[in-house]
Structure 1
Amino acid sequence: MTRFSEFMKQRESAASAYCRGEGDAVLALSTVRKPAGFFGPDGKAVRGPEPVRQAYEAGATQFGKDGESQFEVYQAAEGGDIAYWSGLQRAIVELNGRSVPVDLRVTELFRREDGEWKLVHRHADMLKSEQ
């Protein structure tokens, strides 16, 4: 079984691909089991594995090929079959041919399913300031 700290390298790589318009890596890490949730930066709350996966897929299609992402992990832990991380996601995404910086406050929850970590909830909103 993969330690959560090792898995986070895979998660961050999937986030970078997502910011280049490639949603498949995030979908591969996302649960297909209940419960699942997504509180996106657009303010919407999505519930259920299929609607969450659809929201992730739709989100990735907004971005062009010249994006990147990096996590600043403030906290992370695992216990048994549950894990989480919280911190910042600093990204540059291509929207309508322009590079746009996007800094998000993020908390993600994971559940071990059949020996693999799966994303079961993401809460991401825009960072307004740092202290």
Structure 2
Amino acid sequence: MINDNKHLKDFENFMQVRLKASGDFVEGKFEPLEKISVKKSPATIFPPPGICIQGASEVNTFNKEGATNFLPGAKNEFEIMHQDADEHLAYWTGIQRSTVKMKGQDNDIIFNLRVTEIFRKENDEWKLMHRHADKLTE
């Protein structure tokens, strides 16, 4: 990718929307993530359990079902190690640290995940097309 300050700045601004959608997701709300996710394939998610989901509809269904496991009261943050963007594609990679409340669990659950996400422009908006997240070994 070409390090174009205009595109990178645009993506950095978008990352605030992405962080908010992530925070909403770990509180049981799927709609903000759905709004910033691609609707047309290709799309993939490699979630922490080690499975691979492929196809925009399948990824969005997986995420919608996943959100139902969470309850309000989460803490969520991204530690961005690096990110970049050009006019078509953008990515970030780093650590997602979350403390969440899950249905059926009495205690808070801590997730520290290594994350890479890739976005593409659709109708001049950044849309999530790939997420790879797995457990961080401290």
Aligned structure 1 segments of 4 or more residues deviating by more than 4 angstroms = none
What is the aligned partner in structure 1 of residue 24 from structure 2? Answer: 17
Q: Does 1:116 align with 2:122?
A: no
Q: TM-score, normalised by structure 1?
A: 0.95
Q: TM-score, normalised by structure 2?
A: 0.90
Q: CA RMSD in A?
A: 1.3
Matches within 5 A, 1:52-67: 52-67=59-74
Gaps of 5+ in 1: none
Cα distance in 1, alignment partners of residues 125 and 83 from structure 2: 17
Cα distance in 2, alignment partners of residues 12 and 50 from structure 1: 22
State the 1:57 CA deviation. Answer: 0.7
Larger CA Rg, structure 1 vs 2: 2
Cα distance in 2, alignment partners of residues 84 and 10 from structure 1: 14
Cα distance in 1, alignment partners of residues 35 and 63 from structure 2: 11
Aligned length: 129
What is the aligned partner in structure 2 of residue 42 from structure 1? Answer: 49
State the 1:98 CA deviation. Answer: 2.1
